[in-house]
Amino acid sequence: MNKAIAALNREFPALRTRFCGRRLVYLDSACTVLKMRCAADAQRESLLRLGGCGGRRSFYSLSSEMEEAFEAARRTVAWLMGAGSPDEVIFTGGVTDAANLLANSFPFTKDRNEVVLSPLEHNAVFLPFERLAAAGRVKLKVLPLKGLTPDLDALPRLLGRRTALVCLNHASNIFGGRQELRRAAALARAAGAYLFSDDAQFSPTHGSGAAAEGADACAFSGHKLGAPYCTGALYVRRELLAKLRPWRVGGGTVEGVTLAGGYKAKYIGGNRGFEAGVQNYAGAAGLAAAIGRLERAGFGNIRAHVSGLVLDAHERLSSVKGVRVLGGKAALAEGSLLSIVPEKRGFSSRDFALFLDSSVKGLSIAVRSGRHCADLACLSSGVKETLRLSYFTYNTADDTELFARVLERYLRMI
């Protein structure tokens, strides 16, 4: 293992926790990455050493220090996302929060109200737009799949004068791999539409975000890269940001309220106009620390490590009779996870996931089974559910080998 990765792995105390006396073999990092000590320390430090309120509300030293730390965190996040400026970054509680914000703030008009979704959108992105569609405010179109990837050749046919927004999941949380974001962004732009990229599964192992690849908006979740829960950000390109209408307003989002023939609020505009109320300052400090630590380990190193694990898993699991690995080797190597589906009758992925947790002496092997909140992907592909193995820096090929041996044993048993 690369030295920088080995050093990074000392940041994850949960790897040494025993669960009911059993050692954790964690293969569910797509759900959430285990948390880093440096991120927890930074969050704790912000809470306990400072613990005041930022947001330019107060003018004493504690408040200024909170605010400075918050803005420093924003610069770190802007770097991760490839944003042109920290002013294009809105702190959120993660991708779900970001997608709800975008959907409900987006300047849809009667003439431009169509949203094209990739078939791999997570419910975090799909459902906010589905709600708007149910209320008659937008019309949804879903790209077809070609194999297990969105068919970008079909995108021009779905784009038109009425297309307002294209949503493209940058790296799928069910089928793995990564999408050709640059191409999709160029097609959307040519049709006068904007492109939103869900970077939830992309940022943790690729680093540089979608802004650099031409997305007009993108989002990631901090907990998926080892930072505290309910942290993350939405990047919005300056020109689009100016057109969004904040759907959540409150303290910190107005210049003032006047009484001139009725109450009138004058909103501040810009990214901070979307950060209503007291913010998660401590979470932002933890998030910045996590990003900084990953940068120090090197996203190139992280990518190489995780990619190697996926390739190895593809080879090993393809040799197991009774299950099928979804996707080809080269495409999967671009992501950080893979899914398998049972081919043997009577195999329940859920039962097997429970078996993995409790039936192997001394070990708790954690994998995810089901639809992974990727209902569109399941409906588009006909895949009912999968068993998903997802990787981060703390995994080794031994984890896959363990999983594969238990799987072979289980298949012989049923």
What are the residues binding ligand PLP (CB under 6 A)?
30-31, 94-96, 122, 124, 169, 173, 198, 200-201, 221, 223
Nearest-approach distance from CB 358 to ligand PLP, in angstroms: 24
What span, in angstroms and rounded, lies between the C-alpha atoms of 296 and 9?
A: 12
Backbone angles phi, psi at 227, to 5 degrees: -95, 175
Nearest-approach distance from CB 169 to ligand PLP, in angstroms: 6
Of 99 and 406, nearer to ligand PLP (C-beta) is 99
Nearest-approach distance from CB 162 to ligand PLP, in angstroms: 26
Nearest-approach distance from CB 152 to ligand PLP, in angstroms: 18
Q: Which of 90, 81, 121 minimizes the C-alpha distance to 215?
A: 81
Structural element, H or E, at residue 181: helix 181-190
Nearest-approach distance from CB 229 to ligand PLP, in angstroms: 8
CB of 132 closer than 8 Å to CB of 103: yes
Of 176 and 214, nearer to ligand PLP (C-beta) is 176
Of 32 and 113, nearer to ligand PLP (C-beta) is 32
| Alpha helix positions (H), 298-338 | 299-318, 329-332
Of 336 and 395, nearer to ligand PLP (C-beta) is 336
Of 54 and 209, nearer to ligand PLP (C-beta) is 209
Nearest-approach distance from CB 10 to ligand PLP, in angstroms: 25
The one-letter amino acid at 306: V
CB of 155 closer than 8 Å to CB of 186: no
Structural element, H or E, at residue 389: strand 386-390
Read off the tokens for 270: 């810009």
Residues pairing with 219 in the sheet: 198, 234
What span, in angstroms and rounded, lies between the C-alpha atoms of 152 and 116?
A: 12
What is each CA distance from 198 to 46, 81, 166, 210, 302, in whole angstroms? 29, 11, 11, 9, 20
Of 373 and 407, nearer to ligand PLP (C-beta) is 373
